[in-house]
Structure 1
């Protein structure tokens, strides 16, 4: 089980396209959905959310492909993926050529235990380079020591001939548009050319990135894939973490979000209670009056209660009138078919003011006219600040005991006069 990459944080973000489809459905059916339910709907499919990767300060940068949005922890993983992807054909071309097989007396041939490819005799000069090439191309996420431990050897003429048949054809590569001198049989030379010359053209080095949630697992490092699995499991256990992002996307779609009984909902319109004196057409009035007399009923019960006798299915005119009430917010139809009539309010500006309100008005006006008694603030007596001449004169005549009690500016003047020998009591002591 691969360990999650350190310093990488993955957040599931609702896809704007998926939220747009939810908004279209809400407008079409005029129903009210809990945002918690909307979050669960978005988490039900990987194509309905995006994966947002952010790195801590100490984590190294990630490499994202501009071609297929694959994401990698290291440059080596990104290069290995490039050669397995369709993008390699855009920059390099390859072909098979007929060559003479190597001559010699071979008894043992090594074979890859995972892919089944022939590696050649362990004492053959290209054995190690072939072993590392297959590991680099096919299994870059597996430690080389683990991969090498799975290599098996086979004896016999049949195994040797099978390896020699693979050596009769060799593959060579060159950059697209190159001449004949650009052909290379050594794949590592072509890989170095891509890593030094074309890598920035195919991959971006990023600290944060957002990619589709339905990206194939093969297009991501194992450590990042482990982070994605942890983030997805946490989001499915706690769908409410998506609600802030869903609210922002719904607002951009001009869909209302409101709170009811401590929960957040979205629907075609905010609850807009009718006034008690509202005048409606015949069918909307019948629907509203029935819901007011029969609260918390289902849609089937409504049709059974309001349709004329003998009619079992509502006609288009009933559907149109109910749809109008729903889109105006006068009636709420929830996802479970339950109907709610927002509490009707008294009309404004008419005869709504009751007798009690009229009686309270004069009393309120009289209360405003009462003035609070102002408290008289007692002023502290002004302290006369002696002039410098008077202060100097009084300090020069003070006794030593009195001089020790001086503070502030008087202490500063005492030190000055003491240096000049102007304090009579101190001069007499000397």
Structure 2
């Protein structure tokens, strides 16, 4: 933890105006009382028995910290997709088969589809990353409920009657990407180097809860 220059300057001005001396520990307490008065410096260590230090990954779009490359990529795409890709919805045929129930997120009301449907797990993970990343995944998953209701099933089928295609903003002539999985692979090949960076040291604002992934926050 290190003082933030601007925040500490305002604190120093306040102390001078009061015209009194503060013990060192009181000054430290004043600094940590406000998130704009300090920054958090994070450094990796080399695990025992290995030659390679633990890596950190930074999403350059918002300077958030992640413990794995995959987490950083998922975050970049869930929060900053529109910086790299144009999305367009088009009408398509609904899923074939007889569906008598669907899973629904009890927190948001979002319909996830039947648990055995091929896109279910992807939809579940995307919803968690987009809206509830601060919540442990198992806890989030426990809020999913199964709904046996014809109107709800019909609503899900209507939602599935639309598909989203993506176009790379940097190279719109390259052709369309037809799924989020294709976008992920394309992103790794063409955009990851500029969006996600592997580091050994990083500094973030005092609001560590907002700039660090949940697994990292759990370590602090």
**Shorter-normalised TM range:** 0.7 to 0.9
TM score, norm. by length of structure 1: 0.44
**Equivalent-residue separation in structure 2 for 1:91 and 1:159 (angstroms):** 34
Change (3 A) 1:116 1:180: farther
- Point out which structure has higher relative CO (alpha carbons under 8 A, 6+ apart): 2
Q: TM-score, normalised by structure 2?
A: 0.81
**Alpha-carbon contact 2:168-2:174 (below 8 Å) kept:** no
Asked whether 1:66 is paired with 2:60, we answer: yes
1:94 and 2:87 are equivalent in the alignment: yes
Please give the secondary structure, in 1, of the residue aligned with 2:30. Answer: helix
Question: Compared with structure 1, are the counterparts of its residues 223 and 143 closer, same or farther at alpha carbon in structure 2 (3 Å cutoff)?
Answer: closer
Residues in 1 aligned to 2:104 and 2:68: alpha-carbon distance in whole angstroms: 28
Query: Contact 2:205 / 2:211 at 8 angstroms: preserved in 1?
Result: no
Are residues 112 and 46 of structure 1, via their aligned partners in 2, closer, same or farther at CA, if it must alter by over 3 Å? same
* Distance in structure 1 (CA, Å) of the matches to 2:162 and 2:210: 29
1:106 maps to 99
Secondary structure of the structure 1 residue equivalent to 2:54: coil
Q: Match of 1:205?
A: 198
Aligned length: 211
| 2:50 matched residue in structure 1 | none
Structure 2, unpaired ranges of 5+: 48-52
Residue 164 in 1 paired to residue 157 in 2? yes
Q: Is the CA contact (8 Å cut-off) linking 1:80 and 1:136 kept in structure 2?
A: no
Partners of 2:68 and 2:19 lie apart in 1 by 49
With over 3 angstroms needed to count, the CA separation of the structure-2 counterparts of 1:143 and 1:38, relative to structure 1, is: closer
CA shift at 1:150, angstroms?
A: 5.2
Conservation of the 8 A alpha-carbon contact between 2:114 and 2:120: no
CA RMSD, aligned part only?
2.7
The equivalent position to 1:82 in structure 2, one of 76, 81, 85, is: 76
State whether residues 83 and 137 of structure 1, in contact with CA within 8 Å, keep that contact through their aligned partners in structure 2: no
| Alignment CA distance shift 1:109-1:91 (3 Å) | same
| Residue 169 of structure 2: aligned partner | 176
* Maintained 8 Å contact 2:73/2:196: no
Change (3 A) 1:38 1:56: same
Counterparts in 2 of 1:81 and 1:201: CA distance versus 1, 3 Å: same
Cα distance change, pair 180–31 in 1 and its aligned pair in 2 (3 A): same
* Structure 1 position 192 matched with structure 2 position 191: no
Shift of 1:28: 3.8
Gaps of 5+ in 1: 1-11, 229-430
Equivalent-residue separation in structure 2 for 1:114 and 1:192 (angstroms): 30
Give me the whole-angstrom Cα distance separating, in 2, the residues matched to 1:177 and 1:80.
20
Change (3 A) 1:116 1:14: same
Structure 2 CA distance for aligned equivalents of residues 171 and 189 of structure 1: 12
